Structure 1
Amino acid sequence: MFTGIITDIGQVLARETTGEVERFTIGSRFDPAGIALGASIACDGVCLTVTSVEPRGEGAAFSVDAGPETLGLTTVGAWRVGGRVNLERALKIGDELGGHLVLGHVDGVAEIIARDEGPDTVRFEFDAPAALARFIAVKGSVCLAGTSLTVNTVLGVRFSVHLIPHTLRETAWGDRKVGDRVNLEVDMMARYAARLAEAGRLG
């Protein structure tokens, strides 16, 4: 489980295909001694399992494997060597919950349709998959590319968020542009609330 608070920006160092699986090696500032084999790391919001780790400079290079479902349902299949991804280590009991509870189970992919530069913030506008739009509400939480963000406006399948300078500096969001696709995980509370309402209608 995660919080959606990005703790490092990783760089894709290598991509290797083995049958149905794509193996990615990612460089980070994380201490290699603190990464166990089998640990979960959210990479652009996708919970992936560490399959190898080694020291690299002042940080670590770790590898993760992505299978057909992950490659088909998220942006992982489009990752390229040199690309930057948002990273977050799994939540530990007692850690500060600065964002909102995030599972790392991506629900779908949203497309950036506008990026508006303001004097202090950048406003991003997205189109969400129609099946997920009902879970996105004004002032609610949403996880985009692994980042916990607050929804500012909603109109149909279209919604927007504002990013402050700190977020743009400390994450890979500064790279994002119109036409880019980002991993979307809706708030689990919204998902359960919708399911309960649906169950109530079914009797």
Structure 2
Amino acid sequence: MFTGIIEAKGRVARLEPKGGDLRLLIETGDLPLADVQLGDSIATNGVCLTVVELPGNGYWADVSGETLAHTTVVEWAVGQAVNLEKALTPNTRLGGHIVSGHVDGVGEVVSRYSDARSERFRIRAPAALAKYIAHKGSITVDGTSLTVNKVDGAEFELNIVPHTLKCTVMEGYREGSRVNLEVDVLARYLERLLLGDKAAESAGGVTLDFLAEHGFTHR
């Protein structure tokens, strides 16, 4: 588990195809590794990766086909900057929100513009994730815990202060940039709880008809 508070920016140092998936080396820059052991997790642009080797200046990790299919890792290039956060401990300050490092989908930056000293970003999420994104709720973008300022269908807006811009990869976002998104895990569990016994059925989810049928709304 993570908090979404980025500890350092690293960079992709090597990408090695391995039997249909990928092994990669991340140089960690200012991220201290003295307390990191083999098998530990490090969120890398929001993707929870397991450390399999520690060469000294970074870590190697294996990336499965499942991860490649549902994150931006498949698009990464050598030299690319990435957000880094080590897994939280009992002594970690929970300054962001509970982040699992399990990416829900890939979004796209629609627009960016300056607003006083802040930068405003509009991001389009996959349609299937729209129901989990709420005004003033939390969302994780490339591993960064952020507050949603506005929601318009599957698009949402963010206000990014100078410190966050400087300390994360958001500084390099442009129109068309693709980003890893993780919705608030509480929203996903709430959906399953609302389904009750129907959660065991393979089809469907929480719909307007479902809510009306169970007295949450009126048709």
| TM bracket (short chain) | over 0.9
* Contact map agreement 1:32 1:54 (CA 8 A) in 2: no
Q: Distance in 1 between matches of 2:129 and 2:72?
A: 17
Structure 2: gaps (5+ residues): 198-209, 215-219
Percent of aligned pairs with the same amino acid: 47
Q: Distance in 1 between matches of 2:138 and 2:132?
A: 10
* Contact map agreement 2:31 2:84 (CA 8 A) in 1: no
Query: CA RMSD for the aligned pairs?
Result: 1.4
Pairing 1:73-112 to 2, within 5 Å after superposition: 73-112=70-109
> Which one of 108, 116, 129 corresponds to residue 126 of structure 2?
129
Aligned to 1:5: 5
Q: Following TM superposition, by how much is the alpha carbon of 1:198 offset from its aligned partner in structure 2, in angstroms?
A: 2.9
Matched, 1:39 2:40: yes
- Structure with a larger share of its residues in strand: 1
Q: Distance in 1 between matches of 2:151 and 2:76?
A: 29
Q: 4+ residue runs of structure 1 moved beyond 3 angstroms?
A: 200-203
Q: Which stretch shifts more, 23-32 or 148-157?
A: 23-32
Aligned to 2:207: none
State TM-score, norm by structure 2: 0.87
> Which one of 138, 145, 169 corresponds to residue 141 of structure 1?
138
* Residues 41-75 of structure 1, C-alpha deviations (whole Å, 9 max, x = no match): 000000000111122xxxx2211111111011000
Q: Which has the larger radius of gyration?
A: 2
Matched, 1:158 2:155: yes
Structure 1: gaps (5+ residues): none
State TM-score, norm by structure 1: 0.94
* Residues 8-42 of structure 1, C-alpha deviations (whole Å, 9 max, x = no match): 10111111111122111111123332210111000
